[in-house]
Amino acid sequence: MTYDRLVCANCAAPVTEGRCPVCRASRERLQQQAGGMFAQLSPAMLVALMIVLIAVGILLHQAS
């Protein structure tokens, strides 16, 4: 789930608006968690990366 759809239990506003300290803390924590290695890649880039890795694996398997 993305944090843009979360509603704060403290102020009943969307967490992305950061109206209260609880919202702001939750938004900051969720942004830090979402910053993984592949977070910046689009789904198309992930598919292309998988295809390249599979092709390299096949080539290495045939070479041995």
pLDDT tens-digit series, residues 33-57: 766 666 677 889 989 999 999 999 9
What's the rounded mean pLDDT across residues 7-25?
Answer: 88
| pLDDT given for residue 56 in this prediction | 97
Burial 12-26 (b: 16+ CB within 10 A, else e): eebbbebeeeebeeb
What contacts 7, CB < 8 A, 6 or more positions away? 13, 14, 15
To the question of pTM greater than 0.75 for the whole model, the response is: no
The pLDDT, as a whole number, for residue 23 is: 86
Quick one: tokens of 22? Answer: 């609880």
- pLDDT over 90 percentage in the chain: 30
Please state the domain extents for the chain. Answer: 1-33, 38-64
Give, as one character, the DSSP assignment of residue 13.
Answer: S
Angular region, 41: left φ>0, alpha ψ -120 to 50, beta rest: beta
51 versus 63: which is more confidently predicted? 51
